[in-house]
Amino acid sequence: MFDELKSRPADSLLALIKAFQADDRPGKIDLGVGVYRDSMGRTPVMRAVKAAEQFLLETQDSKKYLGPEGDLQFVRLLQPIIFGKSPTFAQRLVGIQTPGGSGALRLGAELIQAANPSARLLLGTPSWPNHAPIFSSARLPVKEYAFVDLMSQQVKFESVVACLSSAREGDVVLLHGCCHNPTGIDFTMEQWRQITEILVAHRLVPFIDLAYQGLGDGLEQDAAPTRMILEAVDEALIAYSCDKNFGLYRERVGALYVMTRNEDALRKAESNIAALARVNWSMPPDHGAAVVRSILESEEMSAMWRAELEEICLRVNGNRAALAAAALDLTFIRRQRGLFSNLSMSKETAAALRARHGIYMADSGRMNLAGMQPADADAIVAALRAEGCL
Ligand code: PLP
Ligand code: TYF
């Protein structure tokens, strides 16, 4: 039967990792896959994570099953970080641990499909390349609309408003909570306010993907749009990832939160997400969530984590400033947030940047700004000029 299968393309972002490793030129620069890198170009295990792993090594006395919800103390301790100390909607939230933000997106998609089979997913483009396939493979029709114009690096706010305003009641709107992947372009607070009004007026359900909290302007600031939306709407889903802000990528640490209208719906959502988790992965992997829980349970390790996250944020924003200072046409990079910026270029140009200059970025023109050093700014600008991007 397997000879009936059609081959599928590899994930082009993940393929860049191998291509970069195979290049032996000394000056190569990796602006490819979205992981943080320090000033030595490494993606180290955070000090707080090492401390928590040491603590777990000494104190963890069992690895018995936890259940489909995973580590519920992990889920609870994240709540004040994401939603604030005592949000008005706390009683309407239920959460479950998931394998990464990806698992949370998939589980949320299946929950939506089970609750409202006629719901559609509205997705602003460009977006993270896995978004559309995750939702369509859960049988949610994906309706795309233009979110950003890459030539001008501006939000196409009229297109956003037009698409959301023409949506059907019960449609779901995927929103990047902060640090938009791939563009680094987030809505202004005023634009978020207008989007919130449209969500409420048209009874649309926000599905907020928060995969980079703390990598933009800090933990609190990065959560502000999410909190504003949740204060206003009846129902919402939040896919959270700890893989970037705790540097736990391969441990697959995330959570799905669902906000319902009332207690009855909350209990139903809770039993449904547990049942869906069971048929997908039975139970989520424990280690990464246990690490995050241990950090959040300890004042000392929490302080260490927060300080490290601030360092990460400062370094990424420092790289943004360096690149913006190196070329007038790149000043927009300073205004953008998170790991990414997406230049407007063809995939042939992205390939030429790799082949001729050893500068690795996605075919889409997306750069991971954590992959450079401030001193690389001039070389990057020179290569972009040589290839006609500036
Ligand atoms: N959402 C966005 C926007 C992402 O960039 C990522 C990155 O991997 C994810 C979700 C998934 O995160 P995770 O690695 O935790 O599955
Ligand atoms: O966009 C990125 O680079 C990160 C990492 O299938 C990633 O979100 C990329 C592709 C993928 C999984 C994670």
What are the pLDDT digits (tens) for 358-376? 999 999 999 999 999 999 9
Do 196 and 257 have their domain in common?
yes
- 156, 256: one domain: yes
Residue 251, ligand 1, Cβ within 6 A: no
Tell me the CA–centroid distance for residue 13 and ligand 2, in Å. Answer: 6
Cα–Cα distance for residue pair 97/222, rounded to 1 Å: 21
Does residue 293 sit in the same domain as residue 344? no
CA of 2 to the centre of ligand 1 (A): 30
Distance CA 226, CA 272 (A): 24
Residue 5 main-chain phi, psi, to 5 deg: -70, 150
125 and 17 part of one domain: no
Asked if residue 9 has a cis previous peptide bond (ω within 30° of 0), the answer is no
Question: Which of 74, 130, 253 has the most ligand 1 atoms within 8 A of CB, as the residue to mutate?
Answer: 130
Report phi then psi at 234, rounded to 5: -85, -40
Between the CA of 249 and the centroid of ligand 2 the distance, in Å, is 10
Q: Is the CB of 100 under 6 A from ligand 1?
A: yes
Residue 310 and residue 293 share a domain: no
Asked whether residue 59 is domain-assigned, the answer is no
Do 336 and 236 sit in the same domain of this protein? no
Instruction: Quote the domain boundaries for residue 257.
Output: 65-297
CB 33 less than 6 A from any atom of ligand 2: yes
d(CA 373, CA 41): 8
Does residue 5 form part of some domain? no
Q: Is the CB of 110 under 6 A from ligand 1?
A: no
* Tens digits of residue pLDDT in 184-209: 999 999 999 999 999 999 999 999 99
12 pLDDT more than 90: no
Question: Are both 165 and 115 inside the same structural domain?
Answer: yes
pTM of the model: 0.98
256, 95 contact by CB (below 8 A): yes
Provide the annotated active-site residues. 128, 209, 244
Which domain-ending residue is among 258, 281, 297?
Answer: 297
User: Is the distance from CB of 247 to CB of 46 less than 8 angstroms?
Assistant: yes
CATH code for the domain of 315: 3.90.1150.10
pLDDT level of residue 303 (50, 70, 90 thresholds):
very high
Q: Which ligand is nearest to the CA of 17?
A: 2
Asked if 134 contacts 18 with a C-beta cutoff of 8 angstroms, the reply is no
Asked if residue 213 lies in contact with residue 245, where contact means CB atoms within 8 angstroms, the answer is yes
Residue 358 CB less than 6 A away from ligand 1: no
Centroid of ligand 1 to alpha carbon of 241 (angstroms)? 7
Q: Write the pLDDT tens digit of every residue in 87-119.
A: 999 999 999 999 999 999 999 999 999 999 999
Indicate whether 293 and 309 sit together in one domain.
no
Q: In which band, very low, low, confident or very high, does the pLDDT at 2 lie, cut at 50, 70 and 90?
A: very high
Residue type, 146: A
Please check whether residue 348 lies inside any domain of the structure.
yes
Last residue of a domain, one of 297, 313, 331: 297
Specify if 55 maps to a domain. Answer: no
Q: What pLDDT score was predicted for residue 10?
A: 85
**Closest ligand, as measured to the CA of 243:** 1
- Is residue 142 within 8 Å of 121, Cβ to Cβ? yes
Residue whose CB lies within 8 A of the most ligand 2 atoms, among 8, 11, 12, 13, for a mutation test? 13
Listed residue (255, 256, 246) closest to 294, CA to CA: 246
Residues 269 and 331 in one domain: no
* Residue 10: exposure state from Cβ atoms within 10 A (0-12, 13-18, ≥19): exposed
How many other CB atoms sit within 10 Å of the CB of residue 298? Answer: 16
CB of 370 closer than 6 angstroms to any ligand 2 atom: no
Q: Is residue 49 part of a domain?
A: no
Interacting residues of 347 by C-beta distance below 8 A, sequence separation 6+: 363, 364
Angle at 183 between CA 178 and CA 184, to 5 degrees: 40
Q: For residue 271, tell me if it sits in a domain.
A: yes
Give me the percent of the chain exceeding a pLDDT of 70.
Answer: 100
Q: Cβ–Cβ contacts within 10 Å for residue 369, how many? A: 23
Average pLDDT of the residues of the chain: 97
The total number of structural domains in the chain stands at 2
d(CA 210, CA 239): 6
Token pair 């777990």 is at which residue? 56
ipTM of model over 0.85? yes
Closest CA to 122 of 66, 215, 36, 199: 199
What does the pLDDT look like over 117-135, one tens digit per residue?
Answer: 999 999 999 999 999 999 9
Residue 50 domain-assigned? no
Q: Atom 2 (ligand 2): residue with closest C-alpha?
A: 34
- On whether the CB atoms of residues 267 and 303 are closer than 8 A, the answer is no
Ligand nearest to the CA of 129: 2
Q: Given this model, what pLDDT does residue 54 score? A: 98
Asked, for residue 100, whether it belongs to a domain, the answer is yes
**Would the CB of 241 count as within 6 Å of ligand 2?**
no
Same domain, 255 and 121: yes
Atom of ligand 2 nearest to the CA of 182: 1
If asked whether residues 243 and 343 sit together in one domain, one would say no
Do 78 and 15 lie in one domain? The reply is no
- Reduce the DSSP state of residue 345 to 3 states and report it: coil
What percent of the chain lies above the pLDDT cut of 90? 98
Cβ pair 122, 173 in contact under 8 A: yes
Tell me what pLDDT residue 112 has.
98
Peptide bond into 126 cis (omega under 30): yes
- What ligand 2 atom has the least distance to the C-alpha of 181? 1
* The domain boundary residue, chosen from 264, 297, 330: 297
Tell me which residue has its CA closest to atom 10 in ligand 1.
Answer: 101
Ligand nearest 362 Cα, by number?
2
Residue 34 alpha carbon to ligand 2 centre in Å: 6
Residue 66, amino acid: L
Judging by beta carbons within 10 Å of its beta carbon (0-12, 13-18, 19+), is residue 213 exposed, middle or buried?
buried
Q: Note the pLDDT of residue 20.
A: 95
DSSP H or E run through 206: strand 205-210
- Where do the H-state alpha helices sit in 116-242? 131-137, 157-165, 189-201, 219-232
Does the beta carbon of 181 lie inside 6 Å of ligand 2? yes
Segment 224-236, tens digit of pLDDT: 999 999 999 999 9
Ligand 1 close to Cβ of residue 101 (< 6 A): yes
Residue 145 sits in a domain of what CATH number?
3.40.640.10
